């Protein structure tokens, strides 16, 4: 009952960011006489959204997966929503890529676009979906897509990395809480091991990039918190939108 790891949480493409100047810490104290913040941006964003991590963990979908009691119809509903979500999200990634002026982030977004395209096409094949227009996104997913569209259209492309980070950070955290690598989740075990894998090593590159981008004056902390929080809430509301009864 799986088509592989969702690109929403997968971080295997982060190596495309390695050549970015944002992956190298700048000595901003000497340059502009400003002390570095006491807490790194990535840590700040995670701490500020702590309530949402627990809300995601306690949703009926996640708990149903955890206890291997989730109704198969609910899982099917989730996968149909995810296929359509990734279909629409790929358009936002394509838009963010077209608006990106940073060549490294542009290349990264190109790879992300292809991974989303491959994934939703695989889901379409698995679930016998011929026409995406036949699937209706619920309100939670529609709002999440609208948020990503706004970031892609109106903000520096580095903020799109900020928008992607909550999912990449949250899903491994959920995996840690439910012991995804060692637990038995019945028919959902393979899906859990792939999608809630506690391995979050790739996330550190996302975090390094946004931390250095803030240090170099490219990211504003308050704007980053707004983007990050809306994405985190999008994850919570997505899980919470799945009817489990």
Q: What is the pLDDT of residue 103?
A: 96
Task: Identify the CA nearest to 12 among candidates 229, 212, 228, 200.
Answer: 200
Q: How far apart are CA 11 and CA 209, in angstroms?
A: 14
Model pLDDT for residues 56-92, shown as the tens digit of each residue: 999 999 999 999 999 999 999 999 999 999 999 999 9
Query: Which CATH code is given to the segment(s) 38-240?
Result: 1.20.910.10
How far is residue 67's CA from residue 80's CA, in Å, rounded to a whole number?
22
What mean pLDDT, rounded, does the chain reach? 92
Give the Cα separation of 67 and 65 in Å (integer): 6
Dist CA 139 CA 175 (whole Å): 26
| pLDDT one-digit tens code per residue, 151-210 | 999 999 999 999 999 999 999 999 999 999 999 999 999 999 999 999 877 899 999 999
Q: What pTM did the predictor assign?
A: 0.92
């Amino acid at each position: 009952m799986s088509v592989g790891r969702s690109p929403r949480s997968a971080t295997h493409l982060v190596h495309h960011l390695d050549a970015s100047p944002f992956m190298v810490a700048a000595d901003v104290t000497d340059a502009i006489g400003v002390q570095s913040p006491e807490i790194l941006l990535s840590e700040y964003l995670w701490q500020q959204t702590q309530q949402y991590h627990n809300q995601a963990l306690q949703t009926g979908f996640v708990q149903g997966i955890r206890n291997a009691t989730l109704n198969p119809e609910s899982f099917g509903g989730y996968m149909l929503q995810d296929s359509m979500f990734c279909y629409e999200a790929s358009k936002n990634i394509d838009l963010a890529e077209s608006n990106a002026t940073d060549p490294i982030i542009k290349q990264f977004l190109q790879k992300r676009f292809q991974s989303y395209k491959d994934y939703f096409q695989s889901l379409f094949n698995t679930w016998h979906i011929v026409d995406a227009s036949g699937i209706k996104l619920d309100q939670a997913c529609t709002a999440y897509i609208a948020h990503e569209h706004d970031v892609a259209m109106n903000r520096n492309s580095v903020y799109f990395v900020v928008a992607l980070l909550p999912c990449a950070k949250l899903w491994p955290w959920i995996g840690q809480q439910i012991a995804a690598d060692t637990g038995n989740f019945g028919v959902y075990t393979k899906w859990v091991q792939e999608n809630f894998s506690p391995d979050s090593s790739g996330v550190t590159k996302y975090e390094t990039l946004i931390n250095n981008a803030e240090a170099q004056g490219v990211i504003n902390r308050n704007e980053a918190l707004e983007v990050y929080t809306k994405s985190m809430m999008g994850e919570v509301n997505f899980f919470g939108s799945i009817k489990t009864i």
